[in-house]
Structures are given as C-alpha cells and as structure tokens.
Amino acid sequence: MPKWLDDAVFYEIYPQSFKDANGDGIGDFDGIIEKLDYIKELGCNAIWMNPCFDSPFRDAGYDVRDYKKTAKRYGSNEDLVRLFNEVHKRQMHILLDLVPGHTSEEHAWFQESRKAEKNEFSDRYIWTDNWFHSPEGLNYVAGESDRDGVYVLNFFKCQPALNYGFLKPERPWQKGIDSPEALATREALKDIMRFWLDLGCDGFRVDMADSLVKKDDEKKSGTAMIWQDIRRMLDESYPEAALVSEWNRPYLAIPAGFHMDFCLDWKGNCYNLLMRDLEDGKNNSFFHKESSRSVLDFFDEYLDSYEKIKEIGHYCLITGNHDTIRAAYYLENRELKLAYAFLFTMPGNPFLYYGDEIGMRYLSLTSKEGGYTRTGSRTPMQWDHTRNLGFSSADQDALYLPVDASEDAPTVEVQMQDPDSLWNVVKEILAIRRQQAALQENANLELVYAKRDERTFAYRRGNLLMVCNPSGKEAVIEEAVLKEPEKLFEIGTASYQDGRYVMGAQSFGIWAKKMR
C-alpha cells in the first residue's frame, strides 16, 4: 500500500470544465495548474483527473484514440508533465484515468483489427469468426467491416472491447487468458501504464475495472488474475503508484490487486440511499431532513463489504462524480454539510467532485459528448463573479457547456468569505481529518449507536466520536461513549451534558476523548 494513501483526500477534476487558461472555452492543464493552490487550501492533497487523452470524444474521452498522447484541447504531453511536477512541488499526488476495457473505434489498433487480412492486431479485440455468428450474451456490432465476423462492445457503440481472453474458451474464436493474443493486450496495457508512471503520474483510477474478461467470469477470477499480475509489476517497479477501481465490489476488487475501490451510486447500492434516493418523486435520501430512513439501511451493506477488506485496502466514499447527478439536486445546503461531514470522517479515501464543495447545481442540458443525463453534472466550475463565473474568458457561446446562469449560482469567491458556507465547512472538516490520526487510519470504525426506528447515529474512530442527527427534531443519545469528551467540531448545536449527547435539529458533532 503506497504510504501516501494513508491521508490522501482526492479532488476529482473533469478537465473540460475546471479552468480554461487559454480562453478557448474549454478547460486545460494550465488552468488546473493555476488552481492547485486552491485545491490544497480546501484540504485535498490528491487529484483524480478524468481522461485527457486523444479522442473523438463520443464518450467524453472514455473513448481513447491514442493512450500515449494528450488531447490537444487540454495541452501537450509536456504540459501534462508540467502539471505532474507542479502537483508534486506541493506535496500532492495525481491519478490519471485508465480505460483498459475498450478503446475508441478510431484507435489505430482497431483500424488494423477490422481489416480482412490477418495482422498483429487482429485479436486485440474480441471478434467472432463468422459474420453470422453472434457472441451469446454480449453486445456486438455486425456488418461494418471487411473482416468476416462481428466484434464485441464494452459500452457505447464507439467502444469495441479489448481482448483479454476467456476463462473457459468454448468457441474457436475465444482465446484463453494466457493465450499469446490475450497476453499481447495485457502487455500493451502495462506498457501504457509504465509510459505515464515514468513521466510522473502517481497511479490510475481504472475505468470499468471488472470488465476485462467476459461472460464466463461471473466470480471475476479471470479478471482478478490479470489485475494481480499488473499489481505485481507495480509492486516491483512502482511501489508508490496507486490503483483505484471503478468496481463497487471491494471484496473482489481489493483481493484482485487494487488499493482502493469506490462505493458507487449504482441503483440499489447503499451509497445511493444516503444522498440520491428519489423514488416516485419522493426524496427519501438519508440526509434529507424529512427522510424516514435509518442509517442502518446504509451500514448493513457498507459494513459487510468494509469488514472484509479493511485490513488490506480502502473502500472509498464520494461526494459525487462525473456520472452521478449532483448531490445538490437532492439535498439543500445544511443537508449537504451533514452528508459531507459524514463522508469525510469515514474510513477510506474521500473523493470530492469539483464544485461539490460549493454545492454546484445539476443543470438540465442537452447531451454533450455522450454525457446524456450526466451532462448537467459536468458544467464549468463557478469561481467568482467575473465573466463566465471565472471559468473562461471566451464568448459565452464558445463555452464547452453553459455556466449556471441563475442569479444565486454559488461561487467559490462568495463562499470563501462566508464563515458559515458549505465551502468553509468542507475546509474545516478536512482540516480536522488531516490533524486527527484516527480519521486517517483505515481499519478502525465502530458503529456505536444506530437504531432501525431512529435517525440519530454515532460512530467511533480511535479516540474520536462522531454523532449525527439529520432530522428536523432534537434528539438525545443516552449512552456516554466517551467520558468527559472535548468537542472539536459541530454543525448546528451538538453538546455533551451529564453523560448524554444532546443533538439539535440537523446537527453533527465530533468529540475527542480527553487525554489526561
């Protein structure tokens, strides 16, 4: 486990929309460099940047055309290396987004692979051997190439699946995981990883990490074998490089070789219940003031996963990401403060999606670059009151996406000046996380108070106790978990009186055990 992950707090940057330094209407590496001090001041010491590679952008860059070349619109490879250096100068780290499961259909490998004549790349993707044979249970495209056969897709139509082999090959066109063809794909992936690690990146967020081996890999043992092999390479040659998986199954992802896995917003997932539970128009998200939920709806599932991996990896909570609807769509400011106080005091490395620190809103927009409903969560960062809210000096109609035009659109500038703002609460909690060893150590969490029919709950991490009451009514917890505790932080009114925690409406408190 790279040491720097002990206290890493990540800030996710969607490069299109963060900061445009050259005035062409789209964010760039230089813009990110300009804002590194901002990210540090907020309390994040690590970055995950969404794909920034050459691409036709039919899926916002998750359709890579050249893994070793940055997209011109963000800057050159040299500019990206400059960004790495600026990040490191500030004792920060940066993860790139690695897309191992598919490329763009415009990638040179695929252009070769689709040719009728056999060549080095014929088996880089998954093809059947006859135009009339479809691969059972997999999405595919037929009728688009000279080559006889159909090819398998990993996500959108523009994203043909790379061939990592099959666990139990049953048809002549299915290669084994250790076949020369599948190994060539795996080696090509390692080569890409080494390329960027040698240039100074600190690791990768891995897109659809569970998707490498298809169909017969329900238990994911085939996919895990491949990642374990890649992890061996990292351990030997890049021991400080970190890997975080988009997998949402830490008990599979961590043993497969990842250092961290995300708890995602997938439907029915426990994370959704906290902040994004909108069924039939009724908001029943746990942190919503009127919700009827108990926090056990979350913890029942979370703890099951957490307990399985807590000694060997990190299970990470997010405020949101480029695929989720912004949290501010479901929760208002005070609710967001409680939700973030919770997320940032839990085990694992927190991930804060750009703009969530000011409660940026979800905008209703037409799809851009394959974003569909996700587009409204990808709008330009709102910095200040200047042109385009400080995102870009370009004309409004040249912007990548429109900025929030509402009169009261939140901005960093305004919130920095207001001690009670969401931004300042985020900053304060992250500072406490940094100062308190107990909040950094992954393997320590005890849910000390939670009831099916109550909203208030308490959890302990080392010498610290966190109590939260998300409801609109005062609540009291009788169990005195810490003796004569010292209050470090509160939202609303949270007090300890004669062995009881008295929690005002919508409150959160952090107490430390008094050291004598």
Residues numbered 207-246 forming contacts with ligand NOJ, rule: CB under 6 A: 207-208, 246
| Closest separation in Å from C-beta 318 to ligand NOJ | 11
**Interface characters, 71-100, with ligand NOJ (x: CB under 6 A):** ----------------------------x-
Site for ligand NOJ contains 62 (CB under 6 A): yes
Among 74, 155, 258, 287, binds ligand NOJ (CB under 6 A): 155
Nearest to ligand NOJ of 33, 360 (CB atom): 360
- Give which of 266, 247, 265, 268 is closest to 256, Cα–Cα: 247
- Give which of 347, 317, 341 is closest to 428, Cα–Cα: 341
Nearest to ligand NOJ of 221, 367 (CB atom): 367
Q: CA-to-CA distance for 19 and 28, rounded, in angstroms?
A: 6
| Closest separation in Å from C-beta 140 to ligand NOJ | 17
The token duo for 64 is 């890579």
Which helix (H) or strand (E) covers residue 273, if one does? helix 270-275
3-state class of 310 per DSSP? coil
User: Distance of alpha carbon 39 from its chain centroid, rounded?
Assistant: 16
Cβ-proximal residue to ligand NOJ, closest one: 62
User: Distance of alpha carbon 150 from its chain centroid, rounded?
Assistant: 33
**Interface characters, 108-137, with ligand NOJ (x: CB under 6 A):** ------------------------------
- Give which of 26, 44, 403 is closest to 35, Cα–Cα: 44
CB 264 within 8 A of CB 415: no
CB 277 within 8 A of CB 267: no
| Closest separation in Å from C-beta 301 to ligand NOJ | 21
| Closest separation in Å from C-beta 163 to ligand NOJ | 17
Site for ligand NOJ contains 428 (CB under 6 A): no
Which helix (H) or strand (E) covers residue 242, if one does? strand 242-245
| Closest separation in Å from C-beta 389 to ligand NOJ | 24
Question: CA triplet 231, 233, 236: central angle to 5 degrees?
Answer: 105
Site for ligand NOJ contains 413 (CB under 6 A): no
Residues numbered 334-353 forming contacts with ligand NOJ, rule: CB under 6 A: none
Nearest to ligand NOJ of 252, 341 (CB atom): 252
Q: Which amino acid is at 366?
A: T
Give every CB contact of residue 372 below 8 A, 6+ residues apart in sequence.
none
Q: In sequence order, what are the beta bridge partners of 476?
A: 502
| Closest separation in Å from C-beta 509 to ligand NOJ | 35
**Interface characters, 303-322, with ligand NOJ (x: CB under 6 A):** -------------------x
Positions touching ligand NOJ (CB under 6 A) are 59, 62, 99, 155, 207-208, 246, 322-323
